[in-house]
């Protein structure tokens, strides 16, 4: 915001004060707009990133944005394949996610895993066809969505707070 005072008198100063007060009153709305726009962009990045993950089986994921308390937002990925797509699977390809230790994820950590550490891979059925796999690499769609979003924060904040 830019305020110009042509003549330094009480009237011009009062006008500048009113402009500043108006801008100050708009800051809460601008902060809400910033949070909402970033959440929508993050969901878009997550959707793009999930669509590019290499995964041999039926892909099942759903991205949503959930508003929390106050002006907080959560970008959620839900579905049977989300963890496999994010953190990878199998002894050959699984692992390598920078946050796998923090979240306790990686090959052999998924509930009910029987073949994650089998060097010969495993077979599964998809649409009546028997398919062999060694797993899949960590696609990191949510992790990368966060990285993508962090690159855009300043630009979006400038757009929102400029006016």
101 vs 99: CA distance, rounded Å: 6
Token pair, residue 119, equals 């060097």
Going residue by residue through the chain, which has 163 residues, state the pLDDT in tens, using 9 for 90 and above.
778 788 888 888 888 899 889 888 889 999 999 999 999 999 999 999 999 998 877 889 999 999 998 889 999 999 998 988 999 888 887 788 999 989 888 777 877 777 778 888 888 888 888 988 888 899 999 999 999 999 999 999 999 998 6
| Helix (H), strand (E) at residue 131 | strand 129-133
Write the CB contacts of 38 (distance below 8 Å, at least 6 apart in sequence): 73, 149, 152, 153, 156
53 vs 136: CA distance, rounded Å: 9
Positive or negative torsion for Cα 30, 36, 40, 46? positive
**pLDDT reported for residue 132:** 87
* Cβ neighbourhood burial of 76 (10 Å; 0-12, 13-18, 19+): middle
Angle at 72 between CA 71 and CA 75, to 5 degrees: 140
SS (H, E, C) 2-34: CCCCCCCCHHHHHHHHHHHHHHHHHHHHHHHHH
Burial code of 48-66, b = ≥16 C-beta within 10 A, e = fewer? ebbeebebbbeeebebeee
56 vs 111: CA distance, rounded Å: 19
């Amino acid at each position: 915001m830019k305020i110009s005072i042509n003549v330094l008198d009480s009237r011009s100063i009062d006008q500048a004060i009113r402009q500043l007060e108006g801008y100050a009153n708009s800051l809460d709305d601008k902060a809400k707009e910033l949070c909402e726009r970033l959440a929508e962009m993050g969901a878009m990045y997550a959707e793009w990133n999930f669509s590019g993950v290499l995964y041999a089986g039926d892909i099942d994921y759903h991205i949503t944005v959930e508003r929390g308390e106050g002006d907080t937002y959560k970008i959620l990925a839900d579905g049977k394949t989300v963890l496999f797509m994010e953190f990878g699977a199998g002894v050959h390809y699984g692992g390598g996610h920078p946050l796998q230790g923090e979240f306790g994820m990686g090959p052999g950590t998924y509930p009910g895993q029987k073949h994650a550490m089998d060097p010969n891979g495993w077979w599964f059925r998809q649409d009546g066809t028997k398919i062999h796999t060694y797993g899949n690499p960590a696609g990191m769609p949510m992790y990368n969505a966060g990285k993508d979003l962090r690159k855009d924060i300043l630009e979006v904040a400038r757009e929102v707070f400029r006016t």
